[in-house]
Structure 1
Amino acid sequence: MQRLGELEAVVMERLWSLNRPVAVRDVLEELHGDRPLAYTTVMTVMDNLHRKGMLVREKDGRAYRYRAAQPRDEYTATIMGQALASSTNPSAALLHFLETIPSDNIALLREALGEHDPHDDERRS
């Protein structure tokens, strides 16, 4: 999964916050207050996101309605996993990451690890 460009990220943020299938025009109207964009620009960005697998689309008359292919938190987890997997020393990278995150996020991590061990599913098989 590729990282998102600036406008792609803005469009994805809007789609995640709307949390429903939307037309290009809906996104254009949502973005209009932030920056003037052409309809074709937003349409191209959304089509690119669809080709990248970030958006799912369904036909609605002559147009399409788009929705995020996965929730924001799953996308974030995928990006984090890819970054860790691309490291030549994942252990060191993870330790450096843990040194940089705020203590309240460390508490969330400890809580999540206590509640769910993803390897339990593998052990049961």
Structure 2
Amino acid sequence: MVEDGRDARRPHGELVADVLAVLWAAEEPLTPQQINGALGRDLARTTVTTILTRLHEKGTLVRTRSGRGFAYAAADDAAGLAAGRMRRELDREPQRDLVLKRFVSSLSGDDEEALRRLLLESEDGE
């Protein structure tokens, strides 16, 4: 598909999400070449390596030496990454109580009940 004479770009974050999905499904750390193969796309080696390096710098991935390069693994599962994003957003806000109040008021009845149950469970665990 061509728009304004340029190749259409994939939606922002799609490739990152695909890379994370490959790593979550893997039983061991993978090299950029292995990840590129698992993606089944014709991507430049540097494209995959750049994504992996940026995710490592953000703390999303951990890496270990593998020959002359690195092998990568996810630092957390999908739920853990989402929770981390939520926590970072909350940490940026000076009015935490207001943000939490607005968040809770926007929850569905089922989500609100799940949150209440989780809060009670965490109190019982202390």
Q: Verify same fold: TM over 0.5.
A: yes
- Looking at secondary structure, tell me which structure has more helix per residue: 1
Counterpart amino acid of residue 81 in structure 2:
Y
Cα contact 1:14–1:27 (8 A) shared by 2: yes
List per-residue Cα deviations over 1:12-65 (Å, max 9, x = no partner). Answer: 233224353112122212322xx5422220011112222222211112223321
Q: CA RMSD in A?
A: 2.5
Task: Tell me the equivalent position of 2:32.
Answer: 24
Counterparts of 1:37 and 1:83, CA distance in 2? 32
Structure 1 runs (4+) greater than 4 angstroms displaced: none
Aligned with 1:113 (options 92, 116, 119): 119
1:91-102 alignment, distance < 5 Å: 91-102=97-108
Pairs aligned (count): 114
The correspondence of residues 33-48 of structure 1 with structure 2, limited to 5 A, is: 36-48=42-54
Q: Contact 1:19–1:67 (CA<8 Å) still a contact in 2? A: no
CA distance in 1, matches of 2:102, 2:57: 34
Counterpart CA distance in 2 for 1:96 and 1:102 is 12
Correspondence for 1:76: 82
Structure with higher Rg: it is: 2
Give the Cα–Cα distance (whole angstroms) in 1 for the partners of residues 49 and 67 of structure 2: 16
SS in 2 for 1:117: helix
What residue ranges of structure 1 are gaps of 5+ in the alignment?
Answer: 121-125
Larger RCO (alpha carbons 8 Å, 6+ apart): 1
Give identity over the alignment, percent: 32
Normalising by structure 1, report the TM-score: 0.73
2:18 alignment partner AA: V
